[in-house]
Amino acid sequence: MLLSCQAVPPVKAVSSANAIPTERTIHSTDDIYPAVGPYSQIVQAGNLYFLSGVIPLNRAGNAVVGSTIEQQTRQVLEYIAAKLEAVGLTLDNVVMSTVYLSDLDEFTQMNQVYGEFFASSPPARATVQVARLPRDVKIEISVIASAN
């Protein structure tokens, strides 16, 4: 089996006392719908940014945007880009994404749109089918980004 990899700078050793950031910073943006419930849009821990799952709602958060998986995927990824921009990052900073689909048979269509947003050096990704998503949308995506 052949694996390809890109060169990365060496990791600086840290003591275990400093390995896990102890402070968190909560971020949010008005460029997407407000959090609906007890969660934060973005949590920063050190140089890592954890973005809560995004679904394809309108900016008011009261209606689903798009009826196809392509439309909904595009809306979700545009919102993720807006969240990242709010903290000075871009999609290039994403190191991991988790994609939740209501129908895995729509993977190919989702993947085509996803590839437009992550054309080069895409992040690691997990994709799973779930029984149901909020508002009966077709897709939800959460990401982890690094400021490094």
Which residues are registered as beta bridge partners of 129?
Answer: 101
pLDDT at 122: 97
Return the pLDDT at 148: 85
| Residue 77: both structure tokens together | 């990824």
Is residue 90 exposed (0-12), middle (13-18) or buried (19+ Cβ within 10 Å)?
Answer: exposed
pLDDT in tens, 98-120: 999 999 999 999 999 999 999 99
Phi and psi (nearest 5°) for 95?
-105, -20
Phi, psi of 110 (to 5 degrees): -60, -45
State both tokens at 134.
């909020």
Each residue of 64-95: pLDDT tens digit?
999 999 999 999 999 999 999 999 999 999 99
* DSSP H or E segment with residue 38: none
Residue-range domain boundaries for the chain:
21-146
User: At the topology level of CATH, where does 21-146 sit?
Assistant: 60s Ribosomal Protein L30; Chain: A; (3.30.1330)
d(CA 61, CA 57): 5
